[in-house]
A and B are shown apart, each in its own frame.
Chain A
Amino acid sequence: MTPDLQPPAGSPDERLTALLAAGPDVDEGEAARLRDAFVADTERSELLDVAYRTLDSPVGSLLLAATTAGLVRVGFECEGHDRVLARIAADVSPRILRSGRRLDDVARQLDEYFARRRRDFDLALDLRLARGFRRIVLDHLRAVPYGTTASYAALAAASGRPAAVRAVGTACARNPLPLVVPCHRVVRSDGTIGQYGGGVEAKRLLLDLEVRPAG
């Protein structure tokens, strides 16, 4: 790929325009360094509406996205990180960049949770992706303690609409902040585990993790 060693075929003119079209060499490392400095600049200038990173976890790779207000989306691998990001671009802002900085604390607390060194999250949350009744359900979900479960029916009653069991199911399924807002703690009244955005296996793993004795 070094143009001076392998001149393109054709007349001198064609070779010249081909070299011009290829442009000067750009070193991969330099491009990466520029990129990192740019992302840091955007955080300082508050031009960056959404920062994201991924985190490896026992329930697969997680996508973590935050606005300046707080954590706005946790996405499971099975949702497709690219699809989740496209959705955030449409629903929040397309000013989205991969940047660990804003999410370091989120990642650390999640790591601690999976290591069973943390039971509650102490994070700023941006719940703009859940509105109306869904938002009310999430507020009640946050009150379900670590290591316990609640039924969809009980959550519907707590949310002021005891008949809206199905709507509570939808609110849980569309929870933009799974794990942190613990929709995995909601199970069916008959004791079966119910659905989960991250898959039923992930839900089982999380419930087991929370009741296993520490040590």
Chain B
Amino acid sequence: MTGLPPFEQVLTDHGRTVLRVCRALLGPDDADDAWSETFLAALGAYPRLRPGSNVRGWLVTIAHRKAIDQLRAGARRPTPGGDLRDMGELGGRQAPGEHDRIADGELWQAVASLPLKQRVAVVGHHLAGLPYAEVALLLDSNETAARRAGADGLDRLRRTYTRGGEG
């Protein structure tokens, strides 16, 4: 069979990956809506997808767009959580760890605190596996800038991540 597999297969194969991407971008509380919107949009467009397409890449791209929409809509409203675009230095927000490691929850808290562009670049490239050229499209930017945002984001996380080990 060369056609598209039943959408059930898409949901089974990629549902958890998309949820990870949504959680990494939005945190656990807001991820569910983005996940549902991603799969509703994907189901609607699915019959037009070319058979043999990279379904995972297609889905994580939709997920990023939904999450970015949600973040931008949120940034326009004053939220008790503060400004999502820049939370300042991360280092001061965490107690120094005794070991050269960081709890999973803390890492994702740190990711969620990255400025939007850095967060999209880090999650899009490292978790979702998108090439920087595609990350750039998500950010209305160019590949060089996307790559730099990814490096800057990783740099911030690295400072948080290795601090305990260096102390």
**Which A residues form the contact surface with B (CB < 8 A)?**
2-4, 7, 12-13, 15-17, 19-21, 23-26, 30-31, 34-35, 37-38, 41-42, 45, 47-48, 50, 52, 83, 85-90, 93-98
Contacts and interface: CB of A to CB of B under 8 A. Distances in A.
Contacts of B101: 4, 7, 15
Interface of B: 1, 3-8, 11, 15-17, 19-21, 23-24, 28, 32, 35-36, 39-40, 43-44, 46-47, 100-105, 107-108, 111, 122-123, 126-127, 129, 154, 157-158, 161-162, 165
B4 A94 contact: yes
Nearest to B27: A24
> Max chain B CB contacts within 10 Å: which of A24, A50, A89, A94?
A24
Given A12-B165, A26-B23, A31-B19, A88 B35 contact: no
B108 A16 contact: no
B15 A23 contact: no
B40 A38 contact: yes
A12 B100 contact: yes
Contacts of B17: 23
Contacts of A50: 6
A20 B4 contact: no
Contacts of B44: 47
Given A24-B20, A24-B24, 10 more contacts: A20-B111, A20-B122, A20-B126, A26-B19, A31-B19, A52-B8, A83-B1, A85-B8, A89-B1, A94-B7
A23 B40 contact: no
24 contacts: A2-B104, A4-B101, A4-B104, A7-B100, A13-B154, A15-B101, A17-B126, A20-B122, A23-B24, A24-B23, A24-B104, A24-B108, A25-B104, A26-B16, A30-B19, A31-B16, A31-B19, A34-B35, A35-B15, A41-B36, A41-B40, A47-B40, A89-B4, A90-B3
Contact of B47 (A30, A88, A94): A94
Contact of B39 (A3, A20, A38, A86): A38
For the complex of A and B, list the 3 residue pairs with the smallest distance between their C-beta atoms, beginning with the closest.
Answer: A23-B20, A96-B6, A20-B126
B127 A21 contact: yes
Given A24-B104, A98-B8, A42 B154 contact: no
Nearest to A39: B11
A194 B77 CA distance: 71
A10 to B, nearest CB: 12
Contacts of A15: 101, 161
B8 A42 contact: no
A25 B157 CA distance: 18
A37 B19 CA distance: 14
Contacts of B122: 20
Contacts of A7: 100-101
A17 B123 CA distance: 10
Contacts of B23: 23-24, 26
Given A4-B102, A42-B43, A34 B6 contact: no
B66 to A, nearest CB: 13
